[in-house]
Structures are given as C-alpha cells and as structure tokens.
Amino acid sequence: MLELRNICKIYNPGTVQEICLFENFNLSVPEGQFVSVVGSNGSGKTSMLNIICGSIAPDSGSIILADKDIVRESEHRRARRMGRVYQNPAMGTCASMTILENMALADNKGKRYDLRPGTDRRRVEAYKELLRPLGLGLENMMNSKVGSLSGGQRQALSLIMSSMTPIEFLILDEHTAALDPKTAEIIMQLTDRIVREKKLTALMVTHNLRYALEYGDRLLMMHQGGIVLDKAGEEKQAVQMDDILKIFNEISIECGN
C-alpha cells in the first residue's frame, strides 16, 4: 500500500506567481493496482509522480510505504523499489553508451557498482531474450549506441531497463506521448504485460483517454490539485469515453475556456 497523506505543495511561495497546487492531497494505492491518471495540463499529475519519486519535496504531508514514512528519503534511495519511464524517450537511457552497456547498467541495479567487468557476457543472451518479443530488432544491434535509435526504440529500451531488476512500483509519466500511434500501441501492450507479469503497482499518467480506459484497474481524473473522478474495478470498466469527455468539458467551462 502506497499512501499520500495531507500533501501540500505551493510553487513560488511569496511571489506573485504563487500557485497552491496541492492542499491536503490524499491518495492511497493498494499493492498490485494499475492506476491510470488523466487530467488537463497543470492539474498536478506529474507533480504527484515527482512527489512520489522524490524528485520534488512536498511542503508538508507524508508518503507512507509499508508503514514507513518515506517523505524524507532521497530520490535515489526510493529508486531501489521504483522504476520510472518519462515522456521524453531520451531520459531513460544513456545516448553515448551501447544497448548492451545500458542493459548491463540496469541489470546491476541494487548491487554494487565496483571494479567487476561492466558487462557480464553470460547475461547477453538473457538481454536479447528481453528485447526479442518487442519485434523492434533491438536484439540484433546490441553494440549500437542508444543515441542512434528512434524514439520508440529508446522508449521500449527505457521500459525494459526500468523493470529489469525486482521493483515494486512502476511510474509512467506520459510515456507514450512522444511516440507515433503504432509504436505507442506496442509500448502500451509491453507496459501492461510487464505490470501483470511482475505484479507491479503502477501509476500511469496519460493524455490518451483510450489508453486510460483500456488499461489499468483504476481511473483517476485530476483537476487543480484534486481528484475529481476515481473509479476502480467494475465501476472503472463501466466508464465510457463520453463520461470522461463530459467532465473535461464541464471543467473547461468552469475555468472559462
């Protein structure tokens, strides 16, 4: 169980641009749940992920994980149990290193980065096995620099790398937004498979309402730092595209758009 309790976050405090994003924001995600999060720009989706991952610190509140408050834990310590994929495919990999080197790095997560050889030759076949099902041909270019790959290829690699070692949480920050529709579909199916196979707790922010409806066991809709729609299980299955669009429209009218 991951719990956000009474999270408050104010951007630019004390200036004219002061924005109070979260005021006593609460959310609890049971273990193994796949949550899709939608909402307009500035609704706090990415900020919520950043607070969970430790990239930004909330002004107050706590993040409870396995009965422990981890709000003061550093980002890299939290990363031991979390994998994260960003919107920008470049963010999850090292461009100047080869596919093999990137995977070897990810494979060593949680262990010491010491003077042993960087790449364990015996693991190469296992890496290729992970890449083969993607059908992107990555397994045949292990020694290519990641910087020479397409966005879709890089994102697929980021996703694989983020979940190579045992993690509990997968944080997906609009991870299909920068991809063409076909590649986005491949990445989404891969995401779903990884979450199910590894029984991960996943939080996926997306602007693609169809993905939000199709994937995941729970749908959250955020607006101005609050949750305006929260449906799980069968209730979520019953939600239609029109329902979400209606709420979006209501919000827009309310905001004067």
Partner 1 sequence: MVDFVNALPSTLEQGLIYALLAMGVLITYTILDFPDLSVDGTFPLGGVISTMVIAAGHSPLLALLAAIAGGAAAGLCTGLIHVKLKVRDLFSGIIVSTALYSINLKISGGKSLATIGRKDVTLFQNNPVAGFFSGLVGDFSTLIIIFLVVLVVKILLDLFLKTRAGYLLRAVGDNERVVTALACDKGRVKIIGLMIANAFAALSGAVLCQHQRMFEVSMGTGAMVLALASVIIGMNLFRRVSFVKGTTAAIVGAVVYRMCVSLAIACGMGASDLKLITAVLFLIILAAGLLRKGGKKHA
Using the contact rule CB under 8 A, the part of the chain among 25-33, 39-47, 111-119, 238-246 near partner 1 is 111-119
Q: Which residues contact 252 (CB under 8 A, 6 or more apart)?
A: 40
> Residue 123, interface with partner 1 (CB under 8 A)?
no
Among 86, 127, 211, 215, binds partner 1 (CB under 8 A): 86
CB 52 within 8 A of CB 63: yes
Among 30, 20, 16, residue whose Cα is nearest residue 169? 30
Under the criterion CB under 8 A, does residue 202 sit at the interface with partner 1?
no
For the bound state, the minimum distance from the C-beta of residue 30 to partner 1, rounded and expressed in Å, comes to 24
**Among residues 26 and 55, whose Cβ is nearest to partner 1?**
55
Q: Identify which of residues 76 and 122 has a Cβ nearer to partner 1 in the complex.
A: 76
- Judged by CB under 8 A, the residue of 51, 104, 212, 222 near partner 1 is 104
Q: Is 79 in the site for partner 1 (CB under 8 A)?
A: yes
As a whole number of angstroms, the distance between CA 7 and CA 9 comes to 7
Q: How far apart are the C-alpha atoms of 38 and 211, rounded to whole Å?
A: 10
Q: Which of 210, 104, 86, 202 is closest to 155 using CA atoms?
A: 86
Told to check if 13 binds partner 1 by CB under 8 A, we report no
* Structural element, H or E, at residue 105: helix 99-107
Min CB(114)–partner 1 separation in Å: 6
**In angstroms, what is the minimal distance from the CB of 118 to partner 1?**
4
CB of 154 to partner 1, least distance (A): 8
Q: How many residues does the chain have?
A: 257
Q: Among 113, 125, 181, 253, which residue sits at the site for partner 1 (rule: CB under 8 A)?
A: 113
Task: State yes or no: residue 112 binds partner 1 (CB under 8 A).
Answer: yes
Nearest Cα to 186, choosing from 127, 136, 132, 129?
136
* Side chain identity at residue 65, one-letter code: L
> How many whole angstroms separate alpha carbon 153 and alpha carbon 159?
10
CB 76, min distance to partner 1, A: 5
Name the minimum Å distance from CB 60 to partner 1: 23
Taking the complex as a whole, the smallest distance from the CB of residue 195 to partner 1 amounts, in Å, to: 18
Q: Does 114 sit near partner 1 (CB under 8 A)? A: yes
Task: Report the b/e string of 30-50 with b at 16+ CB within 10 A.
Answer: eeebbbbbbbbeebbbbbbbb
Is residue 143 part of the contact set for partner 1 (CB under 8 A)?
no
**Helix 124-131 with 151-162: angle, nearest 10 deg:** 120
Residues near partner 1 (CB under 8 A) are 74-77, 79-80, 83-84, 86, 88, 90-97, 101-102, 104-106, 108-110, 112-119, 145, 147-148, 162
